[in-house]
Every structure is written in C-alpha cells, then in structure tokens.
Amino acid sequence: MIVRDLKRLVLLLCPVVALLFVTVGLWHTQPDYLRGRVGEFLGRPLGSGPATTDNEEDKKQKPDVGSYDRPNPLAPTAAWHRIFSASTTDKKYFEIKFGHVPVFNPNILPHPTQNDTWMLMGQKWTDHQAEGKGFIALETGCDAKFSGDILTCVGEPKPLPIEPTTGDKCTGKYTPLNLNQGPHDARAFYGPTKPYTIYGSNSAFTCFGQWIQDFRTLVDWPAEPLVEDDFEYGTELQRPPPYGILEKNFFAFWDKDDNMYIHYDMYPSRSFGAVDGKGAVIGSDLAPKAASYDKKCMARYMPKLAPELESIHQATNSLKVTLCQRSDENCKPDDSNTFIMTIIQHKTYYSWHSEYEPYVVLFHQRAPFEMYAMSKKPIWIHGRGRDEGRRRTDMFYVTSMAWKEHGNKYHAYSDDVVFLAFGVEDKGAGGVDVRAGELLKGLGRCSEA
C-alpha cells in the first residue's frame, strides 16, 4: 500500500516539477529589465539575499546597509580607479538612513538655508504582497544630518506627493506595468538656479516614460517664487522618435548660457535635444552632429559588452565642472576647461546577481556637446565588498550626484567636493563624498582616440 501510494505521489509531482523548471527557464530568458521591474513591484528586489555578512569584523566596523548577503570586503584590483570618502573616519562610504524605513536609489541635495543639513529622497522598498498595495511605488524624503559617519533623517521621512500617472500602452509581456501607480527611480538634482526631480511613470506616448517636476513643490522648501516654466506639476518629457517601450534615466543638462537640454540615451549611440517648459522637444535630435567624434571616443573607452547579460546604463543627473581649482585666482571658467559631467554604468547579470561598474563621462558645454573624456577604469567606492571566491561584489547602483557645499548648485570646480549617492542591493542606501579632482583622475581624453 505504501509503495503504491508513493508511486502515485511521484506520478503527481513529476509534471509539477517539470513545469517549475520550464517556468524558471522561461523567466531567466526574459529581459533583465522586466525581471527587475516585476520583482520591484512585487516587493522582491533583484539580488537581495538573507541579512548575513561573511566578515564579522567588518560588520563591527560598519553596520550593513540594508539587508543583503554581503561579500568579503577584499581590496579591489588595479582594474578599478579607487576613491575614498573625504570625511568618514575609515575613508569608506557612509550609510544613508531614512529612519526605520528601508529605502534605496538615494538622492542628496544641500539644504537651501541650513549649512549642516541636506535633503534626502529615495525609493521606499515595500513588500507589496504583505501590505496588499499592488503595484504602488513611493518616493520618500526628509531633512538629514550627519551622526558620526551616518547621514540620517531628522524625524520620520515623508512620502513625496508625486501624482501617479495613467497609461494603457503596455502590451504583451509588459502589460503588468499598466497597473503601476507612482514614481520609479526618481532623481533629485540642481539646475543652475533651482532643483528638479525626474522620475519614471506611465506614459501618454509609450508604455513607461520620464517625467519632470520642480522639486520645491514636493518638499518643505523656503519660499521662492515659481515662474510659468518651472514645471510646477509633473510634466512628461518628450523625445525625438522613435520611443522605446520603457524609457528610463533621462537626465537634464544646461549649456554655457543655461539653456536646458535632455539627454535620452548614451549607448549604443547618444541622443539628446533641447526642450521647452512643457517638456516638448525643440528642433531635432542633436546627437548626429557629434556622432562621428563620439563614436571614436566610445570605441576606445566604452566597456566591451558580452553578447548577453551585459548592458550600458545612463545612471545619474549631470553637473557642470571646471577642471581647475576654485582656489586658483587664475582659474577662469570657459569652453576649454568647463564640461558637463555624468556617470554611466556597465551592468552585468550573472548567477542571478546584478553588478554595476560606474564610469565618469565629460562632454562639452556648447553645441553639439561632443564627448570630451571618459574614465579609463570603472570607479571603485572604498568600502564596497568583493568576494573573489564567489566572483561577486556588492551591488552598488550610483543614482545621483550633487555638490556637497551649501550654495553650490549646478556648477563647481575640481577642488570642490561632490556627493555620489547609491543604492545597495536594492535594499539600502549609501553615499561617498570625494573631491571632483579625485573622481576625475585617470580620464581618457577623446582627442587621444
């Protein structure tokens, strides 16, 4: 009787097991973006593991950021350009704490009036199934100060009142994104005079688009007059056709005369253009005018991608940097020494774990905005864990840049300190403050290509 029952059980389980393997196989072949988005919507961030660490001594020195399986903090090889914090006691990156709320994809802005305070914004991680919230995404923010080597909220973070958008243009495997409510992967950043945020949400033109809003309308900001073109409400950023199904990570930049442009794509070729106060494109895509020069530069310095499981991502907002020192009285910003700076990332996805290697890109501040230089090596942030045995590192995803000193907005100099803020394993948040000159060491000039 027992043997007969066991045979029946085996016959019952075999189709279930086979179906499970087929499902996993199909899931694994889908684009990594869809896996990441659906995982985020379901509250199961990609790459998250148990809250353990492989090195207890390192855990005593610096508590884990978020909840993830942290590799041993081995020193990186010469394949990276290593940067160190300018202010922490151990020169490692600092943690960013949003109280008891788990937050990733952080952004840091200098507070407009308080010199010891910064404004934080980040994506709240939510267990959507446990909380019964469906596909709701939330950005949260607070004022923050340093407590030792931790940048932490003063009081509880508050949800940012970014209005959800609707759309029904997601089809096929992207159909679930029609159910999204709320902003994703938001970036907060300064322009020449005021702060903005760009975020992903349902689009009127494609499945998922990019929106811009004056950041001052979303937080407790000291009174400043708003003018008509300030993007007082969420405004969708249009782009020269064709649209991608999922548009993401647009960044704004300003030329030498403070005219606003939007950069849509970096790879496999650039795309950017001027926009008006309604988010509409002015003229055409300007990138073809710089393409012949850019292609030579990218061919020399852009990471070479494997046929599968690797990609290049636009990642951060932009800043303007003058490559001489503010302290030098002979340093005068002009077209020969002042450039637009952004960070792109080489993404790999092996063994079900994403990793991102950041590279700095500089391009000219006047049309047609050709590339000027790019990191020869990826940036390694001191404190990031690396496990040679398992051939993996902590997943750091750099999301934003800002000048640390209060009063600096879009433009600063090589001896000024810049904040890089990053998510850690889609569960935690960290940052590093480094002089711009240190960040820009080892750049390869496009003229050398």
123-160 per-position pLDDT tens digit: 987 654 444 455 688 899 999 999 999 999 999 999 99
- Give dist(CA 436, CA 446) in Å, integer: 19
All structural domains of the chain with their residue ranges: 20-448
Residue whose pair of structure tokens reads 């990186």 in the numeric block: 76
Burial 227-236 (b: 16+ CB within 10 A, else e): eeebbeebbb
pLDDT for 90 equals: 95
CA distances from 281 to 141, 239, 241 (A): 30, 6, 10
pLDDT for 391 equals: 66
pLDDT for 15 equals: 47
**Overall fold of domain 20-448:** Tachylectin-2; Chain A (2.115.10)
pLDDT for 43 equals: 33
Residues of the chain with pLDDT under 50: 1-73, 128-132
SS3 of 402-422: the string is EECCCCCCCEEECCCEEEEEE
Give pLDDT tens digits for 223-262: 777 776 679 999 999 999 999 999 999 999 999 999 999 9
Say whether 276 sits in a helix, a strand or coil. coil
> 141 — phi, psi (to 5°)?
-150, 165
For residue 412, give every residue at least 6 positions away whose Cβ sits within 8 Å of its Cβ, in sequence order, or none: 319, 320, 321, 322, 326, 403, 405, 418, 436
If you ran DSSP here, which 8-state letter would residue 184 be given? E
Cβ–Cβ under 8 Å, residues 229 and 213: no
Q: Measure CA 148 to chain center.
A: 25
Give pLDDT tens digits for 110-122: 999 999 999 999 9
Cβ–Cβ under 8 Å, residues 17 and 23: no
How is residue 434 written in tokens?
């480094």
pLDDT for 389 equals: 60
- Give dist(CA 239, CA 248) in Å, integer: 12
pLDDT for 37 equals: 41
Pairing of strands 94-97, 150-153: parallel
